[in-house]
Chain A
Amino acid sequence: MKLYLVQHADALSKAVDPDRPLSPKGQQDVADMAVWLKKSGVHVDEVVHSGKLRAEQTANAYGMAVLPDVSAIKLEGLSPNDSTDHLMHGCEIAGGDLMVVGHLPFMARMAARCLTGAEDGITLNYQPGSIVCLQRIDDEWVMNWMMRPEMLG
Chain B
Amino acid sequence: MRLYLMRHGKADFGGVDRLRPLSERGALDVDAVAKYLSAEGVGVARVYHSTLLRAKQTAEIMAAALKPEHAIEERVGIEPWGDVAAFVDWAAGLSEDTLVCGHEPFMGDAAMALRASGGDFISVKTATVMAFERTDDGWTLDWLINPKLIKKEAS
Q: What is the interface of chain A, defined by CB distance below 8 A to chain B?
A: 36, 39-41, 115-118, 121-125, 130, 135, 140-148, 150-153
Whole-angstrom distance between the alpha carbons of A124 and B141 in the complex? Answer: 5
A41 cross-chain contacts in B, Cβ below 8 A: 152
Q: Are A124 and B140 in contact (CB under 8 A)?
A: yes
Q: How large is the interface on B (under 10, 10 to 19, 20 to 34, 35 or more residues)?
A: 20 to 34
Interface of chain B residues 123 through 137 with chain A (CB within 8 A): 123, 133, 135, 137
Answer whether residue B115 sits at the interface, using C-beta atoms and an 8 A cutoff.
yes
Determine chain A's interface SS by DSSP, over half rule.
mixed
Distance in Å from the Cβ of A145 to the closest Cβ of chain B?
Answer: 5
Q: How far is the CB of B125 from chain A (nearest CB, A)?
A: 9
* Nearest Cβ on chain B to A141's Cβ, whole angstroms: 6
Task: Give 22 CB contacts A-B under 8 Å.
Answer: A36-B153, A39-B152, A39-B155, A40-B152, A41-B152, A116-B121, A121-B117, A121-B119, A122-B117, A123-B137, A123-B140, A125-B133, A125-B140, A125-B142, A142-B122, A143-B122, A143-B123, A143-B144, A145-B143, A145-B145, A147-B143, A147-B149
Contact between chains at B143 and A146 (CB < 8 Å) = yes
- Confirm or deny: B118 has a beta carbon within 8 angstroms of a beta carbon on chain A: yes
Contact A116 B146 (CB under 8 A): no
In the complex, whether B40 has a CB less than 8 A from a CB of chain A is yes
Question: Is B142 within 8 A of A143, CB to CB?
Answer: no
- Which positions 12-63 of chain B face chain A at CB distance < 8 Å? 40-41
CB <8 Å contact, B119 and A148: no
Are A153 and B41 in touch, CB under 8 angstroms? yes
Within 8 Å by CB of A151, from B115, B137, B139, B145, lies B145
Decide: B119 and A146 in contact? CB cutoff 8 A. no
CB contacts (< 8 Å) of A145 on chain B: these are 143-146, 149
- Shortest distance from the beta carbon of B21 to any chain A beta carbon, whole Å: 27
Q: Complex formed: what's the CA distance from A146 to B146 in Å?
A: 10
Inter-chain contacts of B149 with A (CB < 8 A): 40, 145, 147
**Residues of chain A with a CB closer than 8 A to B133's CB:** 125
The answer to whether the Cβ of B105 comes within 8 Å of any Cβ in the partner chain is no
The answer on a CB contact under 8 Å between B142 and A148 is yes
Question: In the complex, A124 Cα to B142 Cα: how many Å?
Answer: 7
Q: Is the CB of B123 within 8 A of A123?
A: no
